[in-house]
Structure 1
């Protein structure tokens, strides 16, 4: 539907592609008058029972007048959404406002699509739309026998009240988002997106489109790899010019295959892909794996092809992995899938890997094989037009075959959703991330992603907040993976160091200290001619030490003892303990086999080996920090009392009505906005003379400060632009005159008078609406830590109380808050409450482009907000904004 066909006021931002309960995709959009004929067809295809359930009457045909009323809405008081697949309406949801805060809601789902969660999705989207327009309550009238529709409301997480009257059940429920309704939404999203990955990873049948007889073609390689891996399902070759390929009969089109195809691997030139995708849609293919290149990474023409690929796939209910994908591998014995360019199937194991780049996929798999790390699932998203790492993380949450997840990310399309899913996954399995290009947030050609304005440290903060292990390269990712996949997690940061070299032991111990680990045992250095039994005894003593949480072993090639004896001693000692063990063997080879064994309870366990102690220590430090995060209390979402969201929204709406492009708020508007969130901003009075300064002080009350607000000196180190603790008019006049004489030549004599605050620690609290991350909240200590050193902490709302505390503690200057050099500690609870209020404000109001509280005076009795600036702008369309959507 083109923009010309859309009615006035059509809210395009309501459009969304969603994953249904069975893993297929449907398109949600507002209804339009052009849908009249489609509504007639939809109604005609319904059973008599469904029609009666919806209209309480046997209406075999809707009148043209009724359809016109249904399809002509104002998108404000009368709202209707349709769910479509292949251009056909499969569900309709609508609400009609009854009062300013109440609306009646109704649904009609196609018989053939009932049970796929369409009603739940439509309710979810309608509730968000209604809430944003001021509706607080939905009502509905349902026949008692319509159990399916009653369950849509009752299972959505809302508190539903029922009343039976005149043969009809009247339902009523508040639609304000609650923790329970949000949990239901996220649970449904997780299940649907996890299921959608099964058609990628566990297809019953595969068609390789472009399966050439030429051995140097991509299609030939992929088909050969699928067959060589022993895929347990059916395989079909699609080639217009051949009768058979690699012993399989060749079909000219996917739609000619009699078998239903779950996964179509597309390996044809980019210009031919649209025709192939259309044919796959006709054949009812569930998922496309597009390995073809020549899309958005190649220029504008390719970008158009990529956009058309996504549109066609989404309209026809298909998921897309790629284009420009290296492929997908699943080592599960029930499927044995190698639909990739990897010539050999990696050994099965417990590590799930995701990489965007195809070329990098080769390196990742090769590195895993060299390390002896088995793989459960490997996937390459290529240009990431649809399926992303978020989808695979949803799958890995429930996958019993995967214990550790490794992600190589070149770009990120939806960080808020990534953070939310990664946090859930990290609570049960280690998640290791390599992210390239964070210094500039450069996005590789072909990737759909918004540009970020915030500092790269915000990305690191997001990963820490989610419990993700961040590493710098693939080498480090596998260093960590081989530890957390094969060994227990550390119970603390205390380390024993055991080896056969004083120099190597000292080097290992120094590395531990530099990474924040405590060497509580050793370093123990055995003689170079020590026997295997002596190594075993030293290791047993280290493992038995109650002050030890992890054991690091480091050996140089001994002159007498055999390599195998040392490896066996390490393995046997580790198998008897629940503490993790890491081994460094300089110059030794073939120790991996000797370091593998089985515990008494039947678990296979490997002591990871490293060529240098620094690599082992870095991996252990990462695992230790992760274990600490996983075992700690992650807190509860912050909900500060005394917030008037409606008052804040009215203010923002008023300002944007006056200034559609946005503007900086006046001082009174800032006080009004922040006051709605329980934040009191101290008054300051602009003055241009000593007399005005005295008059302001008489109003505010002594003692006062007079300070310059000129950018040149504002918040600069020292006291060059401020005089404090002025208690009399004469002191104030003298201070004003002195400042004016000094700053007038610099055009910095712009002054305000403010009441004197109790001495404390000056802090800076900011929030910024970022195109990529959404709201980002930052905290720092004012002055040199912020201005010169960049000592600034960041977090991504929504925050828990633990997140708030971590943010405050994350800056290096945080000890200044806790009584540095004999000063009284600040009121940490009051400071945390202020941070929580700013985070909720930033999360609630995307129109707040920038907010700065500077200075925030943290002192023993509380916090004083002495200065504030706020800029509002039209709200960007956030991703992950409270309703399910593939973005």
Structure 2
């Protein structure tokens, strides 16, 4: 669907100095109210456009975009569908660089809606203006302080290195709300909506060059340009990982059509496409979040061999099961490592791999066991599990230096009521160790790290 406008066109759109909200409102029951509210903390210029008000939410308002003084880099359009085409034409006349069309009622409803969307595209192509949407929640550029959405709380996103691009605004909100709650940084969050202009291939190419983005997370309902997607993804995975959650997998009586007007298609074809491109495919929003988080915080292992250290035996079995069922190995330690661990820990503990620290109440002893495990020559990465208990001293914060010295990636599963371990989680993730609340999620994160290493190995073999 997209036409080639280049990196610079999207760079200007996602990093505006001035923004107009067309359809801005004082009425909290209208979307235009929230679109403007989301931009009240923007450091650039914000222009409400409403022909019926001279002031909206404390800002001077203008009858139309043509009445706004000076240049406008970005326009957020939240007017009734039948007015959008005329507004887009005025934006083109004004010389606006890009528009976000929040309004729905276009391709996804067919008929006249499809015609209006096609007319919008023609206007954009004549003028060189870019369109995000229609039928989108907008975008957030956390580094630039731009919240061009109808959800003001998304302005709380921490600036980071994960770009999340979705067809569904709801799915993007799920990801971003978890990111806010967990303090995970996001570089860019984009809802493509109907993708009348900006589509997945162009976003992937843009993000491949974006220095603030390390990991690309995608939610896909359907693709209109699978060849363009494949070409863009194959080049991008050479420099940064792509994680995808493809929905619409279940068979229905007729071909599934998404709420953005996209054909869902046969999932087997998508699965083959993702494998050919070197994309990491996941099965839920939670896995999309977890895989992206791991890849953004730490590096992939050199191999698939995992050392598992746990303060509780039961969760260690869960981690072991998940690892082994997904192609990871729990190798035997070298004889030298085994002897050192056996001399360190009491006989009633499990001193092989997994290592059981249940009776190692001395944090120094537990930490030394971790050091021996991760530094073993048979080991490529470490997973550690610990439940909070006042009788069991935590060694989590001391892990950072041990892991750094090893040069290998590590993942921690740390679980506690409420915010009992919040400071430890922050310290670990600042130190390059991703933390998850359950054994399953930690193990699956390790699986995805190893999968990206497989992707890189395949690329190097064919280079």
Q: Would you call these one fold, judging by a TM-score over 0.5? A: yes
From the superposition, tell whether residues 592 and 482 of structure 1 become closer, same or farther in structure 2 (CA, over 3 Å): farther
Partner of 1:301: 112
Matches within 5 A, 1:568-579: 568-579=397-408
Q: 1:341 aligns with which of 125, 130, 150?
A: 150
Q: In 2, are the aligned partners of 1:405 and 1:430 still within 8 Å (CA)?
A: yes
Q: In 2, are the aligned partners of 1:321 and 1:384 still within 8 Å (CA)?
A: yes
Segments of 5+ residues of structure 1 without an aligned counterpart are 1-15, 24-191, 637-801, 803-887
From the superposition, tell whether residues 475 and 513 of structure 1 become closer, same or farther in structure 2 (CA, over 3 Å): same
Matches within 5 A, 1:55-94: none
Give the secondary structure class of the aligned counterpart of 2:330.
strand
Partner of 2:279: 468
Q: Distance in 2 between matches of 1:393 and 1:496?
A: 35
Q: 1:552 aligns with which of 360, 383, 387?
A: 383
- Give the number of the structure whose alpha-carbon radius of gyration is greater: 1
Partner of 1:443: 257
From the superposition, tell whether residues 618 and 18 of structure 1 become closer, same or farther in structure 2 (CA, over 3 Å): closer
Partner of 1:81: none
Q: Distance in 1 between matches of 2:212 and 2:189?
A: 12
Give the secondary structure class of the aligned counterpart of 1:352.
strand
Partner of 1:502: 313
Does 2:447 correspond to 1:616?
A: no
User: Aligned pairs, how many?
Assistant: 437
**TM-score normalised by length of structure 1:** 0.47
Q: In 1, are the aligned partners of 2:167 and 2:221 still within 8 Å (CA)?
A: yes
Q: In 1, are the aligned partners of 2:3 and 2:197 still within 8 Å (CA)?
A: no
Matches within 5 A, 1:516-535: 516-520=327-331, 521=333, 522-528=353-359, 530-535=361-366
Q: 2:206 aligns with which of 392, 395, 403?
A: 395
Q: Distance in 1 between matches of 2:2 and 2:448?
A: 37
Matches within 5 A, 1:362-761: 362-440=173-251, 442-448=256-262, 452=265, 456-520=267-331, 521=333, 522-528=353-359, 530-558=361-389, 560-562=391-393, 565-587=394-416, 589-590=418-419, 591-597=421-427, 604-633=430-459
Q: In 2, are the aligned partners of 1:584 and 1:616 still within 8 Å (CA)?
A: yes
Q: Which has the higher strand share?
A: 1
Give the secondary structure class of the aligned counterpart of 2:207.
helix
RMSD across aligned C-alpha pairs, in angstroms?
2.2
Q: 1:286 aligns with which of 92, 97, 104?
A: 97
Deviations 1:534-590 (A, max 9, x none): 22111111121111101010123345124xx33213334223332111112244554
Give the secondary structure class of the aligned counterpart of 1:618.
helix
Partner of 2:124: 313
Give the secondary structure class of the aligned counterpart of 2:392.
coil
Q: Distance in 1 between matches of 2:149 and 2:416?
A: 35
Deviations 1:423-448 (A, max 9, x none): 11111111110110134462314435
Q: Distance in 1 between matches of 2:367 and 2:174?
A: 37
Q: Distance in 2 between matches of 1:292 and 1:497?
A: 50
Q: Distance in 1 between matches of 2:18 and 2:232?
A: 30
Partner of 1:223: 36
Shift of 1:612: 2.3
Segments of 5+ residues of structure 2 without an aligned counterpart are 334-352
Higher RCO, 1 vs 2 (CA within 8 Å, ≥6 residues apart): 2
**TM-score normalised by length of structure 2:** 0.88
Q: Distance in 2 between matches of 1:356 and 1:504?
A: 36
Partner of 1:205: 18
Give the secondary structure class of the aligned counterpart of 2:75.
strand
Q: Distance in 1 between matches of 2:62 and 2:115?
A: 28
From the superposition, tell whether residues 508 and 337 of structure 1 become closer, same or farther in structure 2 (CA, over 3 Å): same
